[in-house]
Amino acid sequence: MKNLIFSGIQPTGALHLGNYLGAIKQWVDLQNEHESIFCIVDYHAMTVAYDAKKLPERISELALDLLACGIDPEKAILFVQSQVPEHTELGWIFNTITPIAILSRMTQYKDKSEQNKQNINAGLFTYPVLQAADVLLYKANLVPVGEDQVQHVELMRVIARKFNKAFGELFPEPKPLLTEQARVMSLSDPTKKMSKSLGEKHYIALSDSPDVIKRKVRSAVTDTHAGSKSPGVENLFAILEALGGEDLVKELKSQHKKGSLQYADLKDVAANTIISHLKPIRERRTELEKEREHVGEILIQGAKRAQKIAQQTMSEVREKIGVR
C-alpha cells in the first residue's frame, strides 16, 4: 500500500524544541519519501481562550517557522485547516459515531480541562474527533507526532473501524510514527513535557537568540532525584542525541558514570549544539520574512490542493451515510 502522511500543529505561538524534535524534524525527512500533507490546525487552537485579532499573525508566523525548518511546498502540501471546511463537516459526522466514554478518557482533555477550569467547552472535549477527521479526510495511514498524540491516533483507528463497519469500507486505520525523541521534557520542570503553556523558562523556541538559549539551558534543572537518574540530565542527553551529538553523548555519559561530569559543562555543550543546529533555521527564517506574500500564496495553493482530495472523500462519505 502507498503511504500517505498527514500531521498537524496548532498555531499557538512560537515553535519549540519539543515540536521540532518530536514532530517537525521527521516531517521534513518524510516529505522526501512519501506523499505528505501538513496542516496548521486553527480550529483546534480555538478550544482554549485565544486572541482572535492575533490569530492570523500566529498562523503566518507558524507557516514561516515550518518553511524555515525545511517543509518544502514543492514536495508536501502545507495549508490551514479552516480554509478546507470539509474538516469540520467530517468532524461532525464522526461525532455521531464516537463514544463519549472514550473521549472522557483522553489524557489531553483531562490535562487541558484541569488547566482551564473556567472554559471546559464542548470543542475541547470533541477535539480528538476533529483530529480524526483531519487525517481520515485524506485517507492518510501514517501520522508523525510526538508521544502525547498517540492516544489521539489510536482514537482515529477506532473511528475508522466504526465508520467502516457501519457504512462500508472507506478509511484506513492510521498509525502513529514516533521519533526517537518523541517526548522532550521541560527545562525547568523535567517531569513535565516541554510546552508553551508552562511558560518561557520551560521551553526553547526555535526563534530564541543564542544568548537566550544559553541562559535557558544554564538555568535548566539538573538536580539528582534520590535513587533515580536525574530527569533533567537525561533530558539534556536526549536533546543532544536527537541533534546528532551521539559521540559527544557517549563521552559525556561515561564521565557521568564516573561521577566526573560537571553539569555546567554538559549545559554548555547542550546549549552550543542547540544553537548551531538552529542557526540555519534562523537564517532561513530571516530570508523568508522578506517574502511574506509568497508565504500567503503557498498556503492558498496548499489549501486548493488539499481541498481537491477532501472533496473527493466527502462525496464518498456522503454517499455512504445517505446524504446527497
Give catalytic status of residue 250 as yes or no. no
The reply to whether 145 sits near ligand TYM by the rule CB under 6 A is yes
Give catalytic status of residue 193 as yes or no. yes
Residue ranges in 93-132 that form contacts with ligand TYM under rule CB under 6 A: 131
Task: Please answer whether residues 73 and 31 qualify as being in contact, where contact means their C-beta atoms are separated by less than 8 angstroms.
Answer: no
Q: How many residues does the chain have?
A: 324
> Which residue in the set 4, 5, 9, 306 belongs to the binding site for ligand TYM (CB under 6 A)?
9
The whole-angstrom separation of Cα 311 and Cα 304 is 11
Task: Please answer whether residues 152 and 111 qualify as being in contact, where contact means their C-beta atoms are separated by less than 8 angstroms.
Answer: no
- Only one of the segments 191-199, 214-222, 229-237, 313-321 lies at the binding site for ligand TYM (rule: CB under 6 A); that segment is 191-199
> Which residue in the set 48, 68, 136, 143 belongs to the binding site for ligand TYM (CB under 6 A)?
143
> Which residue in the set 18, 190, 231, 302 belongs to the binding site for ligand TYM (CB under 6 A)?
18
User: What are the residues whose beta carbons fall under 8 Å from the beta carbon of 84, sequence distance 6 or more?
Assistant: 137, 303, 306, 307, 310
The reply to whether 267 sits near ligand TYM by the rule CB under 6 A is no
The whole-angstrom separation of Cα 274 and Cα 269 is 9
The reply to whether 22 sits near ligand TYM by the rule CB under 6 A is yes
CB atoms within 10 A of CB 76: 23
Catalytic residue among 112, 214, 216, 267: 112
The reply to whether 183 sits near ligand TYM by the rule CB under 6 A is yes
The reply to whether 148 sits near ligand TYM by the rule CB under 6 A is yes
Looking from the CA of 285 toward its CB, the CA atoms found within 13 Å total: 19
The whole-angstrom separation of Cα 308 and Cα 55 is 25
The whole-angstrom separation of Cα 5 and Cα 140 is 6
**Which is nearest to 4 in space by CA: 28, 34, 24, 25?**
34
Nearest residue to ligand TYM by CB is 22
Residue type, 43: Y
Residues in binding contact with ligand TYM, number by CB under 6 A: 26
Of 135 and 317, which CB lies nearer to ligand TYM in the complex structure?
135
Catalytic residue among 75, 139, 175, 196: 196
The reply to whether 19 sits near ligand TYM by the rule CB under 6 A is yes
> What does the block give as the cell for 68?
524555515
Active-site positions read: 112, 193, 196
Binding stretches for ligand TYM (CB under 6 A): 6-10, 18-19, 22-23, 41, 44, 131, 134-135, 143, 145-146, 148-149, 152, 182-184, 193-195
